[in-house]
Amino acid sequence: MRVSEVRQWVVRPVLERAKLWSPAAENLVVGTGLAESAFEWLDQRDQAGRPGPAFGPWQIEAATYWSLWDREIRPSIKLNCLMALGFDTPPPVEELHGNLFLGALVCRLKYFTVQPPLPPANDPHEMVAYWKRHYNTAGGAGVITDSIQSFIQACA
């Protein structure tokens, strides 16, 4: 997928509709998709090609998905997000495979629930560190030095 189209037709519109858009949020969600899958994978695969536990280009695990919807986001935020997606209730986690709007929004929700605030919109070094600390985590396979180009591209 072309990153400019993902940004223009998916990330920005869904974040705006959910009232969760900012330049930093947009760049962070785009950079995360690039770092996690390069927008080339709709399903996680390990080195041997076996399915992994994460779904969609943003590589969101089921436990994270349900925790966000069920416990971590306030009802008003949840309502805005569901309205932005056109759902009454959170859809099945498997929707993340092909619903790019859902994936982008859930990625944003993950960042919405953590502290500190988002890094500056045009600082890829702060963004990649934020991604590693709050999204990919210490136990995740992502490596800052391997992923910095994703955030440089997202911030360009």
Which residues, in sequence order, are CB contacts of 61 under 8 Å at separation 6+?
Answer: 53, 54, 55
Tell me how far apart the alpha carbons of residues 48 and 115 are, in angstroms, rounded to a whole number. Answer: 36
Span 53-62, average pLDDT: 93
DSSP code for 70: I
Give the CA distances from residue 23 to residues 26, 43, 87, 98, 121, in Å, rounded to whole numbers and listed in that order.
5, 27, 26, 25, 6
Identify the pLDDT of residue 47.
66
pTM above 0.85, yes or no: yes
* Per-domain residue ranges of the chain: 3-155
Identify the pLDDT of residue 53.
83
Q: Which amino acid is at 14?
A: V
Identify the pLDDT of residue 139.
80
Tell me how far apart the alpha carbons of residues 3 and 122 are, in angstroms, rounded to a whole number. Answer: 16
Identify the pLDDT of residue 46.
67
Span 17-34, average pLDDT: 98
